[in-house]
Amino acid sequence: MAIEQLFEALPLHYVQYGISKYGAGIIAFAVLVTAAVGVLADYAWMLYLRSKMPPGPFPLPIVGNTYQLPDNKPWIYFEELSKKYNTSLITYWIGRNPTVWINDAWTASELLDKRAGIYCSRPRMLVFAELGSGQYNLVNMITTTQPERDRFRVQRKLMHQGVGIQQVKKYRDFQNDESKVVALDLLNSPEEYVAHFERYATSVVSIIGFGRRVGDPKDPIITEVIAVMHRAAGLNVPGKSFPMLLETFPILARVPTEYAPWKHGLGRKGKSHRGHDFFYSLAVEANENPGHEDCYAKMLFKEQAKYQLRPQEISALSGNLFGAGSDTSSSTLITAILAMRAFPETLIPAWEELDRVVGSDRSPSLEDDANLPYMRALVKEVFRWRSVAIIGGQPHAPTQDDYYNGWLIPKSTWVQGNVWAIHRNEREFPEPDRFNPNRFIKESADARPFPGEKGYMTFGWGRRICSGQALAEQGTWLTVARLVWGFKIESALDKSGKPIPVDIFDYTNGLNMRPQPFKVNIKPRSEAIRQAIIREGKQALVDLAPYEGVTKHRMSTFYKK
């Protein structure tokens, strides 16, 4: 039978079905070929770019090197890669996007400080910024256009008006008083030292931001906000699980949050995205309360018309101050306790110096700093030894293509300072895991050259350096000096009377890391010192009384309204 006769013998719908199926197959094949060509072309671009950029592991199409990421603490992995490739810069692909990791202090200084005008922007951060705290937030703002740069300068200026170097000097009295209350709390319940540090740090920034101190370690304003900060700290640590896997597969972020469990609730529309969120409400509440005219929230509302501040910006500025200041400062103090427990020999020179300069009848004050060089060095070593912002905060991004040692760093690339690697480089810090304040004594044999005056890079670089650095340094010196002056930090004992060891590597996995819970025995160094702590602590509570107050807002219930 001829072909024509065969088709004539078939029912018409069979013929139509065959043609339709054949056509669909052609279309599907064409789509597959187009997709394959697109993937190959994109991969060719990735490999071309890789040939121009700093060395690093070989990426796969689409997923890059994401699948190679460790489950925890990727900054250690990037430090190892830097050693493997024998280079200060490495390129690591998160999906189709290259990230450049800086693992050396001098390179970080050259790129992020000396070329600050180029590395002043942020890259696109899908999870932390677009789905999280917002692209309008000062810490996330992209500054590639003039309007963006102008807005960044406004917000940066306003933040400096709150916690700039000159401004924080005005906070010394109540910051010192809150530190004295910490010492008193440690006498009464030393086992609760973490809660005492969190209360102290939260109360200081609450007084600055909203004119209200926080007196109870169990106040929800502490526990709830710090819990949120801990969660947020994990949203910029490269990972191969959701939600961070969205950076590798950004198309999945387009699915509405209510139908996308992999987004972990991020990107949910509501009050927080209209600016009238928790921190904005705290600021409004503070602005409406009489007294404390110099608190940060009232300043923002006074400047609102001048700078055309949106509610979102007031919320972000006050939230950054409150949230970041409470979490990072308390984590630094916990690290200080761990260092004192693990390296008790470093306290002996500090005690000798404090006893000679300060004595037992009073605790140290900022006026003593010039006469306490070892104490100053000890605090610097706290910042260096286990920096809280372990990958230097949010990533930088160049506003134009840049070159370093012949390597290309493309415009808008993620550029991250690996503070873990920088502060553990044997060249600058021999035996880096040993807590050794002598590194910061110029005359000491342990001192090594380091870029910049500080001797550490804990607070970031360039125009994106942490706005609260001066406040954090001032408060950390006050509190650590008072802790060393007042207390012995000894081993806790188990039920059989044996010392309980501590692990100096057992830290959390977030962007702002802190030690996992550990037990220590904290007791006053002498009866005279104990009496001084009681006397100063009671007077501090009297001096802080004008800041007492309550807030009607609770983060746990706020968004249920």
d(CA 328, CA 387): 9
- Residue 35: per-residue pLDDT: 75
- Residue 275: per-residue pLDDT: 41
Residue 21 banded pLDDT, cuts 50, 70, 90: low
- Spell out the long-range contacts of 515-521 with Cβ–Cβ below 8 A and sequence spacing 24 or more: 515/331, 515/334, 515/335, 515/338, 515/386, 517/194, 518/338, 518/341, 519/191, 519/492, 520/193, 520/337, 520/341, 520/489, 520/490, 520/491, 520/492, 521/190, 521/488, 521/489, 521/490, 521/491, 521/492, 521/493
DSSP for 101-161 reads EE--HHHHIIIIIITTTTS-B----IIIIIIII-TTSGGG---SSHHHHHHHHHHHHHHHH
- Residue 498: per-residue pLDDT: 95
Eight-state DSSP code of residue 507? B
d(CA 199, CA 482): 16
Binding residues for heme: 466
d(CA 130, CA 253): 10
Mean pLDDT confidence for 2-18: 49
Residue 3 banded pLDDT, cuts 50, 70, 90: very low
Share of the chain above pLDDT 70, in %: 94
State the alpha helices, DSSP H only, in 343-386. Answer: 347-357, 373-385
Contact status, residue 320 vs residue 209, Cβ threshold 8 Å: no
Place of tokens 């004594």: 441
Taking the CA atoms of 291, 294, 297 and 299 in sequence, report the sign of the dihedral they define: positive
Mean pLDDT confidence for 194-198: 96
Residue 561 banded pLDDT, cuts 50, 70, 90: low
- Residue 556: per-residue pLDDT: 73
Residue 322 banded pLDDT, cuts 50, 70, 90: confident
DSSP for 266-299 reads TT--SGGGGT-SHHHHHHHHHHHSSS-TTSHHHH
- Residue 18: per-residue pLDDT: 52
pLDDT at 283 over 60: yes
Q: Which of 233, 265, 317 is nearest to 511 (CA)?
A: 233
CATH number, domain 53-558, options 1.20.1070.10, 1.20.1530.20, 3.30.450.20, 1.10.630.10? 1.10.630.10
Residue 12 banded pLDDT, cuts 50, 70, 90: low
d(CA 150, CA 153): 5
Residue-wise pLDDT for 256-268, tens only, equals 998 899 898 888 7
d(CA 89, CA 56): 9
pLDDT at 33 over 80: no
Contact status, residue 377 vs residue 441, Cβ threshold 8 Å: yes
Q: Please state whether the peptide bond connecting residue 243 to the residue before it is cis, i.e. omega within 30 degrees of 0.
A: yes
Residue 476 banded pLDDT, cuts 50, 70, 90: very high
- Residue 492: per-residue pLDDT: 97
> Whole-angstrom distance between the N-terminal and C-terminal Cα of the chain?
78
Contact status, residue 236 vs residue 331, Cβ threshold 8 Å: no
Binding residues: 466
d(CA 135, CA 133): 7
- Residue 56: per-residue pLDDT: 98
Residue-wise pLDDT for 446-455, tens only, equals 999 999 999 9
pLDDT at 15 over 50: no
The overall average pLDDT reported for the chain is: 91
Residue-wise pLDDT for 375-434, tens only, equals 999 999 999 999 999 999 899 999 999 999 999 999 999 999 999 999 999 999 999 999
Residue 232 banded pLDDT, cuts 50, 70, 90: confident
Q: Which of 446, 441, 459 is nearest to 389 (CA)?
A: 459
Tokens of 242: 């959701």
The domain ranges of the chain are 53-558
* Bridge partners of residue 64, in order along the sequence: 60, 94
Which comes out higher in pLDDT, residue 4 or 420? Answer: 420
Eight-state DSSP code of residue 515? B
Tokens of 261: 């469990």
Task: Give the 3-state secondary structure of residue 333.
Answer: helix
Q: Which of 315, 437, 320 is nearest to 373 (CA)?
A: 437
- 12: Cβ contacts below 8 Å, ≥ 6 apart: none
Share of the chain above pLDDT 90, in %: 77
Counting every residue written for the chain, the total comes to: 561
- Residue 323: per-residue pLDDT: 72
d(CA 189, CA 187): 6
Mean pLDDT confidence for 31-54: 89
Residue-wise pLDDT for 115-162, tens only, equals 999 999 999 999 999 998 888 899 999 999 999 999 999 999 999 999
pLDDT at 274 over 70: no
Residue 156, amino acid: R
Mean pLDDT confidence for 543-550: 94
Contact status, residue 221 vs residue 561, Cβ threshold 8 Å: no
Phi, psi of 97, deg, nearest 5: -105, 125
d(CA 549, CA 5): 95
Tokens of 65: 């090197």
Place of tokens 């010392």: 499
Task: Give the 3-state secondary structure of residue 490.
Answer: strand
d(CA 476, CA 330): 9
For helices 193-210 and 311-342, angle between their N-to-C axes, nearest 10 degrees: 150
- Residue 398: per-residue pLDDT: 98
d(CA 236, CA 233): 7
Tokens of 338: 């761990």
